[in-house]
């Protein structure tokens, strides 16, 4: 077994593939993180204030969210890759472990994002779609962009994160699902989609009302999750797992209101896209022939850097940059322009043999780039055109020129000292066997940590095994808990037991909040609507707070009152209510969460009537409750 792992790692480590997928993965991860930071910023008073807008415990929270947002933006742009990811990792750890985010506002994907970030630290995410790649080229400006080879990376950088972050997670989840009756009945995807609290604004009844289709989906998910880690890398099965996985998580993103979880899982499928697809997309998107040829002074450092920057953002490769000294004479249309004049400006020649210079060249470059055409249009505007022309002239006349020799071409580039470069590229070249052995040991440790979580929660907990029967089992249980604390905190290894029987069993009532406005009319707070759906933007971790912690099969009045206080204070302020003059009404609706299929269950739950069970009032910024002592008995 040890030799098999050694051989497999060795073969994957030596196989080089395009870095495109990993660049897309890094970009998608950064975008998902960024949208979550924007969400936290919007709901910062609800999440972080003990009493929203009244008792502000973290006055600088928005500053740290902005700093986190900068780090996430750098990840999206691929700028200072290693430092940005390290900062992002620290922000995730701090916000999850030292704020109410995990305890009261669990996003359902926080630990998964921490684990993903950890692996990204060791992945070559700066090799595609990144500003770091441009910075590297700008450090040697006299080397033409065509002389840089396409970035390639080890295929291990694709497969290892997928195996650990998706494969182990799916297998753990599938084990937990086998203890849930509705999953064994093939209704694992159906049941959450019939609960008002969990559905998005998209009505999926046309699918939910087809029993055989829903059961086929449910059983397919079980088979998919049990087998994913064993077959996802198989060449002939890879596309099948890609399509099923993308459909599964796209469905979660669109149909349920836990969209961050769906998007967080979905980004991993950029690593499963066949390498040939990226090549085919490149061939299809890239222009067959350049739409514009630009001539520049090869002895001008500013011109060379400008060319490198423009080429970097010319994603469709519509512009061909050539130095004027060597190539201009080959084009008859440029013959009228003297060689000396060519060196005073940036000249361009389009396919219609029209010649442009100065600002007009830049306008044509942006227009021909397609996605930056709006910049070219703006530069054409009369006032802006004159300003741009004057600025261009001032810069062009002040630029310096150098006699480029061999030293220009071999100038020391910026350091590319990422952990991937250090541990996977350099070490693989110098000590390949030593690297493979270390990877084996790391993989075995991660497997053991995942097995510890799966056995602890998926078997011992589910079977209700008494670990205190002997000193040995008690010691093992305590050791297991200690390992779980470490692996969960820093690697995101946690049980993936979402929406199982212990969540929905007895989930037969939901709550909403209304208020009496200044005209004496009862209105719905923009939180839970008449159907019982949580309205946007109260999704993600706000949904989790209300639907998974405040309102459960066995409602705890202390927790419920805490979150009623938070919701009324936050949304009362947001919609301009005077809290001290507003009466809030707590509404209860009876619903069903059956483990067997029922036709049109979603609309049955939507149509159930509401009953007022109590009121809430604020007086001098202090809340009082008039609620039943035991809501569960209603």
In this structure, are 244 and 349 located in the same domain?
no
Give residue 630's pLDDT: 87
In this structure, are 242 and 95 located in the same domain?
yes
Give residue 192's pLDDT: 94
Residue 621 lies in domain: 506-633
Give residue 410's pLDDT: 54
pTM of the model: 0.93
Q: Supply the CATH number for residue 364's domain.
A: 3.40.30
Q: Is residue 482 part of a domain?
A: yes
In this structure, are 403 and 425 located in the same domain?
no
Q: Is residue 499 part of a domain?
A: no
Helix (H, G, I), strand (E, B) or coil at 239: helix
Q: Please enumerate in sequence order all residues whose Cβ is within 8 A of that of 154, keeping only pairs 6 or more positions apart, or say none.
A: 12, 13, 14, 15, 16, 17, 424, 428
Task: Report whether 306 contacts 316 (CB < 8 A).
Answer: no
Q: Is residue 493 part of a domain?
A: no
Task: Report whether 453 contacts 459 (CB < 8 A).
Answer: no
- Residue 199 has phi, psi (to 5 degrees) of -90, 150
Q: Is residue 437 part of a domain?
A: yes
Helix (H, G, I), strand (E, B) or coil at 348: strand
- Residue 226 has phi, psi (to 5 degrees) of -70, -35
Q: Is residue 414 part of a domain?
A: no
State which of 409, 441, 458 marks the end of a domain.
409
Give residue 335's pLDDT: 81
Give residue 413's pLDDT: 53
In this structure, are 176 and 239 located in the same domain?
yes
Residue 609: both structure tokens together:
């009537």
Give residue 573's pLDDT: 95
In this structure, are 195 and 295 located in the same domain?
no
In this structure, are 133 and 237 located in the same domain?
yes
In this structure, are 518 and 613 located in the same domain?
yes
Task: Report whether 527 contacts 567 (CB < 8 A).
Answer: yes
State which of 429, 460, 487 marks the end of a domain.
487
Q: Per-residue pLDDT tens for 92-117?
A: 999 999 998 888 998 778 999 999 99
Task: Report whether 334 contacts 341 (CB < 8 A).
Answer: no
In this structure, are 369 and 244 located in the same domain?
no
Q: Report the distance separating Cα 543 and Cα 109, nearest Å.
A: 13
Q: Per-residue pLDDT tens for 57-77?
A: 788 999 999 999 999 999 999
Give residue 419's pLDDT: 85
Task: Report whether 49 contacts 58 (CB < 8 A).
Answer: yes
Q: Which strand (E) or helix (H) includes residue 154? A: strand 152-154
Q: Is residue 279 part of a domain?
A: no
Give residue 467's pLDDT: 74
State which of 348, 375, 409 marks the end of a domain.
409
In this structure, are 302 and 339 located in the same domain?
yes
In this structure, are 445 and 382 located in the same domain?
no
Number of structural domains in the chain: 3
In this structure, are 241 and 381 located in the same domain?
no
Residues of the chain with pLDDT under 50: 412
Give residue 497's pLDDT: 78
Task: Report whether 366 contacts 314 (CB < 8 A).
Answer: no
In this structure, are 305 and 212 located in the same domain?
no
């Amino acid at each position: 077994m040890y030799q098999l792992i050694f051989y497999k790692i060795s073969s994957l480590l030596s196989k080089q593939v395009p870095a495109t997928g990993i660049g897309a993965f890094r970009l998608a991860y950064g975008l998902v993180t960024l949208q979550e930071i924007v969400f936290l910023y919007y709901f910062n008073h609800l999440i972080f204030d003990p009493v929203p807008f009244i008792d502000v415990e973290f006055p600088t929270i928005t500053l740290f969210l902005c700093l986190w947002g900068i780090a996430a933006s750098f990840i999206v742009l691929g700028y200072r890759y290693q430092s940005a990811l390290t900062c992002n990792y620290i922000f995730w750890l701090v916000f999850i472990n030292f704020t109410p985010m995990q305890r009261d506002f669990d996003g359902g994907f926080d630990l998964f994002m921490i684990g993903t970030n950890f692996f990204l630290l060791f992945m070559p995410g700066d090799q595609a779609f990144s500003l770091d790649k441009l910075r590297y080229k700008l450090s040697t400006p006299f080397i033409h962009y065509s002389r840089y080879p396409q970035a390639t990376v080890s295929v291990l950088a694709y497969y290892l994160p997928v195996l650990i972050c998706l494969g182990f997670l799916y297998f753990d989840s599938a084990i937990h699902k086998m203890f849930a009756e509705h999953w064994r009945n093939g209704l694992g995807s159906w049941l959450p989609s019939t609960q008002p609290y969990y559905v998005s604004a998209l009505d999926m009844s046309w699918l939910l009302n087809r029993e055989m289709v829903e059961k086929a989906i449910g059983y397919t998910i079980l088979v998919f999750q049990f087998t994913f880690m064993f077959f996802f890398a198989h060449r002939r099965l890879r596309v099948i797992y890609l399509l099923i996985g993308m459909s599964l998580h796209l469905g979660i993103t669109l149909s349920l209101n836990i969209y961050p979880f769906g998007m967080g899982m979905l980004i991993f499928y950029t690593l499963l896209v066949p390498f040939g697809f990226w090549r085919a997309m490149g061939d299809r998107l890239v222009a067959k022939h350049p739409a514009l040829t630009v001539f520049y002074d090869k002895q001008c450092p500013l011109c060379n850097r400008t060319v490198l920057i423009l080429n970097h953002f010319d994603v469709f490769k519509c512009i061909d940059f050539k130095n004027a000294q060597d190539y201009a004479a080959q084009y008859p249309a440029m013959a009228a322009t003297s060689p000396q004049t060519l060196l005073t400006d940036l000249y361009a020649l389009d396919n219609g043999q029209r010649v442009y210079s100065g600002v007009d060249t830049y306008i044509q470059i942006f227009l021909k780039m397609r996605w930056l055409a709006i910049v070219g249009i703006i530069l054409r505007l009369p006032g802006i055109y004159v300003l741009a022309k004057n600025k261009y002239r001032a810069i062009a006349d002040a630029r310096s020129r150098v006699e480029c020799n061999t030293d220009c071409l071999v100038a020391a580039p910026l350091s590319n000292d990422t952990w991937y470069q250090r541990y996977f590229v350099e070490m693989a070249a110098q000590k390949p066997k030593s690297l493979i052995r270390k990877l084996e040991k790391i993989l075995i440790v991660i497997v053991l940590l995942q097995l510890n979580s799966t056995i602890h929660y998926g078997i011992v907990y589910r079977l209700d095994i008494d670990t205190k029967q002997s000193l040995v089992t008690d010691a093992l249980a305590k050791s297991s808990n200690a390992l779980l604390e470490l692996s969960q905190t820093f690697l995101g290894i946690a049980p993936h037991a979402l929406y199982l029987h212990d969540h929905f069993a007895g989930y037969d009532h939901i709550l909403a909040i209304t208020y009496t406005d200044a005209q004496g009319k009862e209105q719905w707070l923009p939180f839970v609507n008449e159907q019982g759906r949580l309205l946007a933007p109260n999704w993600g971790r706000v949904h989790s707070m209300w639907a998974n912690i405040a309102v459960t099969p066995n409602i705890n009045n202390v927790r419920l009152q805490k979150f009623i206080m938070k919701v009324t204070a936050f949304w009362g302020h947001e919609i301009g209510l005077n809290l001290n003059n507003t009466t809030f009404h707590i509404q209860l609706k009876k619903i069903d969460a059956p483990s067997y299929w029922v036709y049109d269950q979603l609309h049955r739950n939507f149509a159930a009537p509401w009953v007022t069970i109590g009121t809430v009032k604020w007086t001098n910024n202090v809340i009082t409750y008039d609620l039943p002592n035991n809501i569960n008995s209603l």
